[in-house]
A and B are shown apart, each in its own frame.
Chain A
Amino acid sequence: MSAKTLYDKVWDAHQVHQQDDGTVLLYIDRHLVHEVTSPQAFEGLQISGRKPWRIDSMLAVADHNVPTTSREAGIEDPVSKLQVDTLDANCDAHGIVEFKMNDHRQGIVHVIGPEQGATLPGMTVVCGDSHTSTHGAFGALAFGIGTSEVEHVMATQCLLQKKSRNMLVSVDGEVGPGVTAKDIVLAIIGEIGTAGGNGSAIEFGGDAIRALSMEGRMTVCNMAIEAGARAGMIAVDQTTIDYVKARPFSPSNEQWDAAEAAWRDLVSDEGAKFDKIVRINAADIMPQVSWGTSPEMVAGISGVVPDPSSETNETKAEGMRRALQYMDLSAGTAISDIKIDKVFIGSCTNSRIEDLRAAAAVIKDRKVAGNVKLALVVPGSGLVKKQAEEEGLDSIFSNAGFEWREPGCSMCLAMNADKLESGERCASTSNRNFEGRQGQGGRTHLVSPAMAAAAAIAGHFVDVRSF
């Protein structure tokens, strides 16, 4: 048998049927559901008189619309409320397990899946959300789908797919101190571009990836979609096995032993063929800050805002000019001279316990700068929040002047009440710096939790390594 990549192995294990033209009916093991992309799919099922194929493969949670302030009075915005109520009603009607808004396990769908052991190595995982790529950190094949495909999975437990190309991004060597998973993935996107992974499943490998915790690996795979990839994946190793063990929905006893043995094979074989390989030297990566309106527009903290006139590709130069205008930045400005108005620590990229610990370590016994109007910490789930409180992180944040909130997507995409006002500039641990993403006219700079924390204290971007 020829050598296979990790992606080949998971893909092959899920083929139900292949058409003559290569279109594959791919079996889906886990379907995560949230309130924004599911109502029309449930409606579609109802109209065509169909029922979900495998209820027990589904796990639902409301995360995009939920308030991060007190939830005792429910959701104030009637439109948001209707969407969350619709999810509740649909899940109740079909008997789908849902962590409702006041369940202590509620949180961002891409945080709770792994946290509960609902995401397991070797699974196919889908969700009507592009950041489903997060779950690839477990050696799963995980990708985002639109609402029509949400309905397709509900009705058939399968998707019609063409296989993507195999791409390897190897981050070789060790990163320096103060350089995190977020910096690694931003540097990768800066290198290969937002379309660099189009049509591919990216496997992230190399010593620097192997050295990451599961939280860090999730951060990297989370942003695979920002490089345009169909999926991001990382091979299974002891770090993966240790994380998965004893989670509520993980297998146990003899089933665990069989599963663990099978999971050990979820690595690319020696000599497996990749269509494209990109190698990045970990030691060259410094803490990253995005300066533009696309996640590929990043610079190291000691760098400057680049000059469009020195860009030879005219399409790129035009994109840069538009970005600088929107961001109200001029070429040549030192990144560390950019002052901020708000700070957001959270999102499916960076709201796990390790992220909160990293931010808290920076701000301990310090105060948020006077020019920072709002500094928010939004834990990824109720369980992350509880863990952080047990470790006393909430007091560190509160004493520094941060607001300690309830879990949800929050100001990553500002579908709830947490948003930027027009013209405001934010140091954000989220994943997208698109125009208007955090609020119309708002300006987003993507950074790691430690860099966001340091910026909150300094009032501008600052190198966390010498802070």
Chain B
Amino acid sequence: MQSFTILEGVVAPLLRSNVDTDAIIPKQFLKSIKRTGFGVNLFDAWRYLDAGFPGQDSSTRQPNPDFVLNQPRYQQASILLAGENFGCGSSREHAVWALDGFGFRCVIAPSFADIFNNNSFKSGLLPLVLDKSIIEKLAADCEANEGYQLKVDLEQQQVIAPDGETYSFEVDQFRKHCLLNGLDDIGLTLQNADAIKQYEIKRKEAAPWLFNGVT
């Protein structure tokens, strides 16, 4: 996994609440068997006026000029300011891959849906929680200033605004550790392989029916 330490980047605002993973990456693009290539279809139904399908030549698409991410000033954005319950709905990790593919490394929202939150940490995208009032202020500053950037310091757990204002945020310490170091948590878990085997032996004695298998 790519590590996340300090991110300084252009900010884009999309404050609507309950943005679901169907909106982030529509179902037709889930047919891919790869982890990459989803960025061009991020928010596809909002971002383009024509219907999207897999394998299309994206240069021939008609962008929706009213959609915020189509503004030239947000093309290099790496931080998304979002609304409540961001990432609700389907468990598709493709939603995180699509955000990452567009260039986002951090989403700042008042709250996240649980599965999206998990998926983000597994793919090196930081889901960062700040109060709604702070996000609204940052979004207003962002809209008023082209090229508006924020600095996100994961180690210090701070968001630093251009006016020097800093905002602290909470993050699960184990997840922070994994993200800072880009750790593959399967490797970490396998360090406990003996404990897993011991658990299986004891559990099989107590509840053998759990080990019948489906074969």
Contact = CB atoms under 8 A, between A and B. Distances in A.
A132 B190 CA distance: 25
Contacts of A209: none
Contact of B84 (A116, A123, A315): A315
Nearest to A162: B172
A160 B185 contact: yes
Contact of A440 (B26, B31, B115): B26
Given A156-B190, A198-B111, A17 B22 contact: no
A122 B207 contact: yes
Interface in B69-90: 83-85, 88-90
Contacts of B188: 160
B180 interface: no
A16 B196 contact: yes
Interface string A97-120: 100000000000000000010101
A432 interface: yes
A59 interface: yes
Interface string A157-174: 110101010000000000
Interface stretch (B57-65, B116-124, B143-151, B152-160): B116-124
Interface residues of B, number: 64
A56 to B, nearest CB: 3
Given A158-B189, A199-B114, A437-B22, A415 B28 contact: yes
A47 B40 CA distance: 26
Contacts of A322: 16
A128 interface: yes
Contacts of A145: 91, 115, 118
Nearest to B85: A195
A128 B26 contact: no
Contacts of B111: 195, 198
Contact of A251 (B18, B32, B85, B209): B209
A294 B192 contact: no
Contacts, number: 204
B68 interface: no
A152 interface: yes
A226 to B, nearest CB: 8
A217 to B, nearest CB: 21
Nearest to A118: B214
A146 interface: yes
B120 to A, nearest CB: 9
B186 A228 contact: no
A148 B189 CA distance: 13
B141 interface: no
A152 B188 CA distance: 10
A151 B18 CA distance: 28
Contacts of B193: 156
Contacts of B84: 195, 315
A218 to B, nearest CB: 18
Contacts of A40: 33-35, 93
B84 to A, nearest CB: 7
Given A23-B174, A148-B123, A259-B207, A57 B213 contact: yes
Contacts of A318: 16
B209 A228 contact: no
A146 B93 contact: yes
Contact of A195 (B16, B113, B190, B211): B113
Nearest to A122: B207
Contacts of B51: 422, 440
B23 interface: yes
A436 B26 contact: yes
B31 to A, nearest CB: 4
A37 B207 contact: no
Interface stretch (A78-86, A278-286, A330-338): A78-86
A198 B22 contact: no
Contacts of A435: 22-23, 45
A149 B118 CA distance: 9
A443 to B, nearest CB: 13
A238 interface: no
Contacts of B96: 146
B195 interface: yes
Given A251-B209, A415-B30, A195 B174 contact: no
B174 A148 contact: no
By Cβ-Cβ distance, the 3 closest A-B pairs, closest first, are A56-B213, A146-B93, A148-B122
Given A21-B174, A148-B119, A415-B27, 9 more contacts: A39-B33, A56-B214, A118-B214, A130-B90, A145-B91, A157-B200, A160-B174, A262-B207, A315-B84
